[in-house]
Amino acid sequence: MVAVKKERVNYQYLKPNFEGEKGRQAKKLTLSPVVKTGLLILALVAMGITIIYRSSVINSYNLELQSKKRFYNNLMDEKYHLQLEVARLSSIARIDKIATEQLDLRPPKPEQIVIINTSNWSDNGN
pLDDT at 4 over 70: no
Tell me which residue range forms the domain holding 38. Answer: 33-106
Confidence at residue 38, expressed as pLDDT on a 0 to 100 scale: 95
Task: Give a yes or no: residue 22 inside a domain.
Answer: no
**Segment 65-91 mean pLDDT:** 97
Rounded distance between C-alpha atoms, residue 62 and residue 60, angstroms: 5
Q: What is the pLDDT of residue 31?
A: 83
Measured between alpha carbons, how far is 45 from 41 in angstroms, rounded to an integer?
A: 6
Task: Give percent of the chain above pLDDT 90.
Answer: 56
Is 118 contained in some domain? Answer: no
The answer to whether residue 42 sits within a structural domain is yes
Whether 115 is covered by a domain: the verdict is no
Query: What's residue 80's pLDDT?
Result: 98
Among the listed residues 32, 34, 52, 31, the one whose alpha carbon sits nearest the alpha carbon of residue 42: 34
User: How many domains does the chain divide into?
Assistant: 1
Q: What percentage of the chain has pLDDT greater than the value 70?
A: 75
Per-residue pLDDT at 116: 86
Between the two ends of the chain, the Cα-to-Cα distance in Å is 140
Is 68 inside a domain boundary? yes
